[in-house]
Structure 1
């Protein structure tokens, strides 16, 4: 193949790969990020409203929201009210780990956890999880597992 054909071929390949593939963050269906088995059986079909999806698992409910905001701002609110930070392993190496902040509290036999995961700069997944019980740490671990599952299913 002569060199004069190489540049047009590369341009064509780049254009094809840019338009195909997985959807961008703004196009992701939030209901595609959790599935039956992630936190028990899924009861019914998840309810979607814009960038929010409500899931009902056997023993807990999850509201998952995709939003574009600064992680520091969203995280600060959780940290100021007793939350703490962690990470979700993003695969190959520590540089791919993603920050997660969560806050869990028990009131009246019910645990509520709020969490925010940074996927990329200004691309966040917010979780609101409610489960009957009195162990915020156990529910917090469930939230962390759900965040890891959602992150795996997002386009990279």
Structure 2
């Protein structure tokens, strides 16, 4: 009996620490987080690929991806390449819940691409890539932040 107790305790410890948490964003369809009117009208149906969804708006395309990663790691990738940090209100109407966001925009021959990441919860992020014909990095950056805020509003709490 004495020999079984340490083995049993070891087995219980292994079970309690070896369990992985529930999958991140379980049951959330990324194609439900943006809608027609968020950045113009949708010019086609959103297309889902695993944890990403491509949204073809009239004037731009946006890819929204649900990520399981550390915000600091994903944010640093954008900051080290000329990005900037900010916050967006991730709360529902009447609530304030500022969430960190990092955004980086580049202009390549009249096409601006903005990459952004916003922290939903620890280890859960929304990634956005927005592509629009424009020369104004600030305008496309603001659109990207607006899309991130819309996605945050539609996430189940």
Deviations 1:52-93 (A, max 9, x none): 100000110001000110000000000000000011113324
Deviations 1:22-76 (A, max 9, x none): xx72210000000000000101110001101000001100010001100000000
Contact 1:25 1:155 in 2 (8 A): no
What CA distance in whole angstroms lies between the structure 2 residues aligned with 1:114 and 1:90? 18
Task: Show the counterpart of 2:9.
Answer: none
1:44 match: secondary structure: coil
List runs of 5+ in structure 2 lacking aligned partners: 1-23
Task: Show the counterpart of 2:145.
Answer: 144
1:41 match: secondary structure: coil
1:38 match: secondary structure: coil
Matched, 1:84 2:51: no
Matched, 1:131 2:132: yes
Q: What RMSD in Å do the two structures reach over aligned CA positions?
A: 1.0
Deviations 1:83-105 (A, max 9, x none): 00011113324xx2100000001
Alignment of 1:89-128 (within 5 A): 89-91=89-91, 92-93=95-96, 96-128=97-129
Task: Show the counterpart of 1:28.
Answer: 28
What CA distance in whole angstroms lies between the structure 2 residues aligned with 1:125 and 1:89? 14
List runs of 5+ in structure 1 lacking aligned partners: 1-23
Task: Show the counterpart of 1:12.
Answer: none
Specify the structure having the higher radius of gyration (Cα).
2
Higher share in helix: 1
Alignment of 1:5-44 (within 5 A): 25-44=25-44
Task: State the TM-score, normalizing by the size of structure 1.
Answer: 0.82
